[in-house]
Amino acid sequence: MKSAASESFLVRPWPEGSAAGSDLSEDGRGGLLLRTGAVLGVTLICLVVLRRWIAGGVCHCSARLDGKTVLITGANTGIGKETGRDLARRGARVVMACRDLTRAEQAAEEIRKSTGNGNVVIRHLDLASVYSVRQFAKDFMDSEDRLDILINNAGVMMCPKWLTEDGFETQLAVNHLGHFLLTNLLLPILKSSAPSRVVTVSSIAHIGGQINFEDLFFSRRPYSSLESYRQSKLANVLFSRELARRLKGSGVSSFCLHPGVIYTDLGRHVYSWFPLLGTLMSLPSLLLMKTPWQGCQTTLYCALTPDLEGRSGCYFSDCAEMETAPEGQDDAVARKLWEESARLVGLKETC
């Protein structure tokens, strides 16, 4: 009897490959797959939320522009091209002012085909040349009967220290002085087409910028491409603000904006200095930067939103009014910059 009791409590080894062992292994694999799926799901949701946040605001204005004329500088690529496409789709006559006419015609033809609007034309404009800006403005005034929206979009970013044919440092010349002269020369037709708007594309990079009146072109101090870029973008903000002050009551409104950090070829100079950086940034950039379509939304908001005239002189980002850096609110510096800019480009009469 005692022997039988001992036998009944004998613990035997678990048979290898038994059904219970197999079930336990499958449960472990199932749990691992479940946890992996959960992590991937949460990651995907986070990426979607991040992309929506980066995309920023969207211009929901449905206004038509039939019979209106829009002029966009630097419209053959990036946000300028997408701005032109949207405005052409709304029925506007779109004048693309570009330095490279071959690329401009290719972009214009693409816009014509995608929108069905054949009223998209190109004109040559080199913002780095005072002569070119004056010639462009003269030809425009002679051939066009109205100008409803002027979009100062073209720009260069952090290029090497180059001087224009007029002896100006390139970033300040293209980003600010060229647009300053162009806008002033086109004011008669803007006023005759009122209500009209001037939209100037600046950047959040104006924060920390400084207008160095003693050495605007880095003639006496070491050249910094970033410092130069910040100066030019601050100049955009101050120009737009002073333009609004001078045009008050004229029917012409002035707006300035930060389009966002956009995946375009604007940063080509930075990547050319550091090729490895360009390679490393290529994939993250697709995730962390706006597309050109997303980048043009605030430009469209400033150009199209009804009843925005009361905010003339203001600064916008992600389709909402934002406060500029303190440097961008200095009216004394804005007036001094206006006067110095007029002197540099030989503009004797301004608004």
**Active-site residue numbers?**
229
Non-local (6+) Cβ contacts of 58 within 8 A are: 294, 297, 319
Across the beta sheet with 149-152, the strand order is 120-124, 93-98, 69-73, 149-152, 196-201, 252-258, 315-317, 320-322
> Who's near 192: CB < 8 A, 6+ residues apart?
146
Task: Report the relative pairing of strands 320-322 and 315-317 from DSSP bridges.
Answer: antiparallel
Per the CB < 8 A criterion, the answer to whether 112 and 81 are in contact is no
Helix (H, G, I), strand (E, B) or coil at 149: strand
| Bridge partners (DSSP) listed for residue 201 | 257
d(CA 276, CA 83): 31
Dihedral sign computed on CA atoms, order 237, 262, 118, 60 = negative
Closest to 117 (Cα-Cα) out of 92, 82, 144, 80: 92
Q: Cα 347–348–349 angle (5° rounding)? A: 100
Cα-to-chain-centroid distance, residue 136: 24
- Under 8 Å between Cβ of 99 and 178: no
